[in-house]
Amino acid sequence: MTTLLISVLSHSANSQCTQPEDPPNGEILSRNSDPTHTYRRGYRMRVTCDPSFRMRPESARLTCDGDSWEPTIECVPEDCDLLPPFPRGDIIYRTGESGVVARYACTERGYRLHGETRLTCQSDGTWSADSPVCRAMLICKEVEKRDHLILQRINGRRRKGLWTYGSRHTFSCEEGYILGSSSTSKDSYYPSIECTISGWNASVPICRGNVNQTSILTKKPYSITYVYYDRFSVGW
């Protein structure tokens, strides 16, 4: 028990924090200029926010709590609430001539911003417009129809005759046929295709006759029986 207590105290005494990062729209003061400098447990730093921004929580200071800094400090607009999270994109706050400005950008591949790219915090505490959204780009054309091919499942959206990025089509064949490559060579085929930045990621497969389901005459022997009546014969 004594050994364990000494070990815990030793670890606590040796714990150090690395250089913290400035919060967006703010700055950490009284830090060492050496980027590799470390700080002992209990070391405190003062944080300041840019003009038109306020600190949350108020009047907080960063404190080295072993190997991390506490609490998490944010610099938020003075007059407006923070905007809701922006799926598939980022919001960057800056101080403009008319106050705090929020700029939106879609960061996920295959998505494009729809709506206002720039919102301004107004004096009445509201934002100048509704938040935009990141929508999947319209990229892929309609898939070509093929004999005996069934479009079994569709995931995605279609607008203006085009399928959106990330859409997926899954195929099957009518009874008596199996999926195969649309190429004359024996390339591999894909039962599903997906819409990518450059278009569908594979060719639409085709349905070939199943060699294991040929006619009954070729699957097993057949016989003809003759029954004689006088001088005539009848075959079945």
More confident residue, 11 or 176: 176
Averaged pLDDT for residues 184-203: 80
Could you report the per-residue pLDDT of 161-183, keeping only the tens digit for each? 899 999 999 999 999 898 887 65
Give Cβ neighbours of residue 163 (< 8 Å, ≥ 6 apart).
Answer: 138, 139, 140, 141, 142, 156, 157, 195
Q: Rounded mean pLDDT of 14-31?
A: 88
Report whether pLDDT(3) > 80: no
pLDDT, position 234: 34
Q: Is 89-136 in CATH node 3.20.20.220?
A: no
For the segment 47-61, what is each residue's pLDDT rounded down to a tens digit?
Answer: 999 888 889 888 778
Res. 227 pLDDT band, cuts 50 70 90: very low
235 has pLDDT over 50: no
Q: How confident is the model at residue 14, as a pLDDT?
A: 65
Residue 188 pLDDT: 58
The whole-number pLDDT of residue 181 equals 73
**What are the sequence ranges of the domains in the chain?**
2-77, 89-136, 138-216
**In CATH, what number does 2-77 get?**
2.10.70.10
CB environment 65-85: b (16+ within 10 A), e (fewer): eeeebeeebbbbbeebeebee
What's the whole-number average pLDDT of the chain?
Answer: 81
Mean pLDDT of 121-148: 92
Tokens of 99: 């106050």
Q: Is 42 left (phi over 0), alpha (psi -120 to 50) or beta?
A: left
Instruction: Look at residue 76 and tell me whether its pLDDT is greater than 70.
Output: yes
Mean pLDDT of 109-134: 93
Does domain 138-216 sit in CATH 2.10.70.10? yes
Confidence band, pLDDT 50/70/90 cuts, at residue 139: very high
Among 4-8, 151-155, 171-175, the range with the most confident prediction by mean pLDDT is 171-175
Instruction: Work out the average pLDDT over 136-162.
Output: 89
Residue 7 pLDDT grade (very low, low, confident, very high; cuts 50, 70, 90): very low
Asked if residue 183 lies in contact with residue 203, where contact means CB atoms within 8 angstroms, the answer is: yes
106 pLDDT band, cuts 50/70/90, is very high
pLDDT band at 221; cut points 50, 70, 90: very low
Give the tokens for residue 19: 């250089």
Q: Please enumerate in sequence order all residues whose Cβ is within 8 A of that of 23, keeping only pairs 6 or more positions apart, or say none.
A: 47, 49, 73, 74, 75
Please report the sign of the dihedral spanned by the C-alpha atoms of residue 74, residue 80, residue 82, residue 88: negative
